[in-house]
Structures are given as C-alpha cells and as structure tokens.
Amino acid sequence: MRNLDKYKGVIPAFYACYDDNGEISPERVRALTEYFVDKKVRGVYVNGSSGECIYQSVEDRKVVLENVMKVKGDLTIINHIACNNTKDGMELAAHAESLKVDAIAAIPPIYFKLPEYAIAQYWNDYSSAAPNTDFIIYNIPQLAGVALSRGLYAKMRENKNVIGVKNSSMPVFDIQGFVRDGGDDYIVFNGPDEQFVSGRVIGAKAGIGGTYGAMPELFLAMDECINSGDMKSANEIQYCVNDIIAALTSGYGNMYAMIKEVLRINEGLDIGSVRKPLVALTDADKEIAKSAAKMIADAKKKFL
C-alpha cells in the first residue's frame, strides 16, 4: 500500500504574484511561499486556478514554480501543469519533475468537448513526461466543461503514477464515489472550500482550496477538529468561513484580487493584483476587503 501521508491535510492553492507592472515577481512568489511555510500548512498547490494559470505563459509558470521550490521548506508541492495543448503541458511536466516536485496535476482539456479516451490520452501523455512523479487528476466540471466519470477514473488508475483526485465538483457524493473506487491506495482532495467539513467527513483525506491562503489558520483548525472528532467546533468554524467566503466573492472585482488585498491588510503581504481579463478591485471593493479582513481577524480570535 502506498504511503500518501505527505498529501494529507490543508493545502492552500498558491496565488499569482505580480510586480507593480503586472509581471511575475520572483521576490513576491518567494515571500508568499515563506508565508505558507510559517503558517505550517501541509503543502501548496501551485499554478492552478488560484494561480491564474490560464492567463500565464509557459515561462511564467516555470518562474513561479522555480521560486516556490527555492524556499519551500517542508511543504508538499503539487504543480498544476495543464495547458490547452498537450505539447506545452508536457514541457511543464518535465520541468516540474526536474525540480523534484511531489506531484503534478491537471484539469482535462477545455473548449473542445473531447471523448473520454482522448482525455485519458491527454493525462497519460502529461504523466509520461514526468515518469517518476505522482499524478493527480483535477476534476472541476463547472469550469472545465467536462466531468470525471467513475469509468474514466478507473481507466486512469491503470497508470501507476495516478494517486488520486482533486475533486472540485459541488456534489459531495462525488467524493464518496472516488474514495470507494480508489480505496486506500488513492487519495481524494476536497475542492469546494465551503464544503471542507462535508468533504472530509465523507472520505476526503485532504483539502486544496483557493480561499485557504487568506485564512489558513481557520482551515487548519477545522482539520484538527475533524481529526479529533469535535464536529460541533468544526461546523461552527465552517459556518464562519462560509460567511467570509461570501464577503470575498461579493465585490465587483475578482475574488483573487479581494484575497490579495486581505493578505495585504492582515499580513502585510503585497503580491500585486490580478491579470486581465480578471477584474481588479474598485474603491468600493477595498472597503469590502477591509470588512472581510476584520471578519478573519475576529474569527481567529474566537476559534484559535
């Protein structure tokens, strides 16, 4: 049986870090990595949705990963390598393996609706470019336009490098199906942050999420409560976190721009804004960010 302990726990999705001109900032990437090291999370998920990967070049994504790896400490590093063509993704997969990441991950190809055998080939081609690296399937049908079926998951488990699924579909029972099909040799990561407790209770052994970075202590506290069987406290924190997420998504600008402003307010961490076509914050949004930052600070005082 495989030892998957290094993946179990709270794994924040890593944010894109830009300089004042909107270009990747190696210094800010390293600063955000050090922030996560200090927060003692299990690891980080690099170059995914929260990292604005579809708006970045192959070289941008290499620079991000290279600078994460320079200061990662004991963090488990999962690097999302999917592109909308197989060639670029294979280049990123080989690059990730050369840096000795723990795992690579990929969404299915988007735009064209491909048959399952083509999606399997796409993922297996990526895995072949990093033959000594774990591979994680990223299921996010509401954005990718295609869902991971249990039949496709069974086909992918023929690849010895596949270790599990980052499941961001909204139905919690999807997690149950993937957990039952894979058994103890595979891991399922809960995706929807608003359902962290639900996903963990139904079988996910870890979580990867885009709002974790704004409040890692609260997700760590939820995880600890679940592990100790204190479900009352876990649910109370989840309800509070969901109110915070509602605030983070209530502005005119993009949620990740809101989170970055919250990090600047609460942590003194400046990692820039977001890349177009994502929308930056308005002046009114900055007031919402102040309110969300206070909600997080108050929750930490209450629950920690």
Single-letter amino acid code for the residue at 300: K
| DSSP string for 62-88 | HHHHHHHHHS-TT-EEEEE---SSHHH
The residues pairing with 137 across neighbouring beta strands, listed in sequence order, are: 106, 165
Catalytic residue among 166, 205, 212, 260: 166
Q: Which residue has the tokens 């930490």?
A: 300
Q: Is the peptide bond before 131 cis (omega within 30 degrees of 0)?
A: no
Residue 208 annotated as binding site: yes
Catalytic residue among 15, 122, 138, 186: 138
Q: Are 191 and 168 in contact (CB under 8 A)?
A: yes
Structure tokens belonging to residue 268: 């003194």
Q: Is 100 a catalytic residue?
A: no
Q: Is 186 a catalytic residue?
A: no
Structure tokens belonging to residue 110: 């988007």
Find the helix or strand (DSSP H, E) in which 161 lies: none
Q: Are 256 and 16 in contact (CB under 8 A)?
A: yes
Q: Rounded to an integer, what distance in angstroms lies between the CA atom of residue 125 and that of residue 111?
A: 19
Active site residues: 138, 166
Query: What residues form the annotated binding site for pyruvate?
Result: 208
Sequence ranges of the binding site? 208
